[in-house]
């Protein structure tokens, strides 16, 4: 049987559900060989063997270089592991880092990359859920080994009847020349507001805020709510990406979602339409956001938001 690689970001005993699902995904393509960017203990190797992994690849001499190299170290490690094992594909987690490594590896090897996979078939056909789950598509790479990032909870892991006794291969990773260097790490200041995905109330602003989130924040603070945003507001640089709601942002389902100056594009709705009560504030009465709103206020958010915040403060 041909080999496949599975990239594991962290491996410890017991193996996480994510690691086991990734191993199961890789096993569809071949005999799985685990690759990780740090040294592993014998009990980790044994646990990987029990999960059906036939080989474990780690960097020789540890991963000190990995800390400085913005994932080019991991990319290089996987590229060498691919050439050593002649694996038919690499399965990575569908995380930010997993996708970044997949993209770098694809560019380096001129190989096809498929992200957001929910299934992998033995012939390399990959199933993806797209447009906020509205469609399922199947894709096949046409160049190089298959590089795929697999979403969590999509492939079931079944423990093999017999454990493997994996070989541990330490690969020297050289010549990783960083194109950039981290010069300072600053902790983000706490906003004091609830975490967006756990908040019971969310006040969200879109392009309609026109660069000024202060009134959105004022209403959020009067309600004890989290602040969120549409992608238009995030792309304009008015607020951080971590607060984006929607298909390519966070999915929220609070008791109350206030959408101010947001038109209600399908990609935004994908992240908030299961909210219990939706209040929309928009100056265009024909805006699609009103189709899903429980309460619609047609008006300029610059008038509506401060009035709502003042009324709430009077009550408290």
Ligand X SMILES: Cc1cc2nc3c(=O)[nH]c(=O)nc-3n(C[C@H](O)[C@H](O)[C@H](O)COP(=O)(O)OP(=O)(O)OC[C@H]3O[C@@H](n4cnc5c(N)ncnc54)[C@H](O)[C@@H]3O)c2cc1C
Q: Is residue 247 marked as binding? A: yes
In the complex with ligand X, which residue's Cβ is closer, 98 or 264? 264
Q: Is residue 267 marked as binding? A: yes
CA 251 to chain centre: 12
Separation CA 274–CA 261 (nearest Å): 19
Q: How far is the CB of 282 from ligand X (least distance, A)?
A: 4
Place of tokens 């992998």: 120
How many beta carbons lie within 10 A of that of residue 242, not counting itself? Answer: 12
Q: Is residue 67 marked as binding? A: no
In the complex with ligand X, which residue's Cβ is closer, 49 or 246? 246
Q: How far is the CB of 201 from ligand X (least distance, A)?
A: 18
Q: Is residue 263 marked as binding? A: yes
Cβ(124)–Cβ(88) below 8 Å: yes
Element containing residue 259 per DSSP (H, E): strand 256-260
In the complex with ligand X, which residue's Cβ is closer, 28 or 231? 231
In the complex with ligand X, which residue's Cβ is closer, 28 or 268? 268
Q: In terms of C-beta density within 10 A (0-12 exposed, 13-18 middle, 19 or more buried), how is residue 17 classed?
A: exposed
Element containing residue 115 per DSSP (H, E): strand 113-120
Q: How far is the CB of 268 from ligand X (least distance, A)?
A: 3
Residue 121 tokens, joined: 């078939």
Q: Is residue 240 marked as binding? A: no
In the complex with ligand X, which residue's Cβ is closer, 22 or 220? 220
In the complex with ligand X, which residue's Cβ is closer, 134 or 182? 134
How many beta carbons lie within 10 A of that of residue 124, not counting itself? Answer: 19
Q: How far is the CB of 289 from ligand X (least distance, A)?
A: 7
CA distances from 312 to 65, 257, 260 (A): 53, 16, 17
Q: Is residue 268 marked as binding? A: yes
In the complex with ligand X, which residue's Cβ is closer, 52 or 246? 246
Q: Is residue 261 marked as binding? A: yes
Separation CA 72–CA 278 (nearest Å): 44
Q: Is residue 230 marked as binding? A: yes
Separation CA 26–CA 28 (nearest Å): 5
For ligand X, the binding residues (CB under 6 A) are 206-208, 230-233, 244-249, 261-263, 265, 267-268, 271, 281-284, 287, 300-302
Q: How far is the CB of 248 from ligand X (least distance, A)?
A: 4
The radius of gyration of the chain's CA atoms, rounded to the nearest angstrom, is 24
Q: How far is the CB of 300 from ligand X (least distance, A)?
A: 4
Q: How far is the CB of 80 from ligand X (least distance, A)?
A: 34
281: left (phi over 0), alpha (psi -120 to 50) or beta: beta
Q: Is residue 308 marked as binding? A: no
Do you know the residue count of the chain? 316
Supply the DSSP symbol for 135. E
The binding site for FAD consists of 207, 230-231, 244-248, 261-268, 282
The binding site consists of 207, 230-231, 244-248, 261-268, 282
């Amino acid at each position: 049987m041909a080999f496949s690689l599975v990239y594991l970001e962290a491996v410890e005993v017991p193996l996480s559900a994510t690691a086991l699902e990734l191993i199961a995904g890789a096993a569809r393509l071949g005999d799985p060989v685990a690759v990780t960017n740090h040294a592993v203990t014998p009990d980790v190797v044994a646990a990987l063997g029990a999960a059906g992994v036939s080989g474990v690849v780690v960097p020789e001499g540890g991963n000190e270089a990995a800390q400085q190299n913005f994932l080019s170290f991991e990319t290089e490690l996987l590229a060498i592991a691919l050439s050593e094992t002649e694996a038919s594909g690499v399965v990575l987690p569908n995380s930010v880092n997993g996708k970044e490594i997949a993209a770098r590896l694809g560019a380096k090897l001129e190989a096809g990359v498929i992200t957001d996979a929910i299934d992998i078939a033995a012939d390399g056909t990959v199933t993806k859920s797209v447009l906020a789950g509205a469609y399922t598509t199947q894709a096949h790479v046409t160049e190089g080994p298959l590089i795929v990032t697999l979403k969590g909870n999509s492939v079931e892991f079944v423990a093999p009847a017999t454990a493997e006794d994996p070989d541990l291969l330490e690969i020297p990773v050289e010549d990783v020349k960083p194109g950039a260097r981290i010069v300072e790490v600053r902790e983000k200041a706490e906003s004091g507001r609830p975490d967006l995905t756990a908040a019971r109330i969310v006040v969200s602003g879109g392009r309609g805020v026109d660069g000024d989130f202060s009134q959105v924040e004022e209403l959020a603070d009067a309600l004890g709510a989290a602040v969120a945003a549409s992608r238009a507001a995030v792309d304009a640089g008015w607020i951080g990406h971590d607060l984006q709601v929607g298909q390519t942002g966070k999915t929220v389902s609070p008791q109350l979602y206030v959408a101010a100056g947001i038109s209600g594009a399908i990609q935004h709705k994908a992240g908030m339409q299961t909210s219990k009560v939706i209040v929309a504030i928009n100056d265009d009465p024909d805006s699609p956001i009103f189709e899903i709103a429980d309460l619609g206020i047609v008006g300029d958010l610059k008038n509506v938001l401060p009035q709502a915040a003042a009324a709430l403060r009077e009550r408290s």
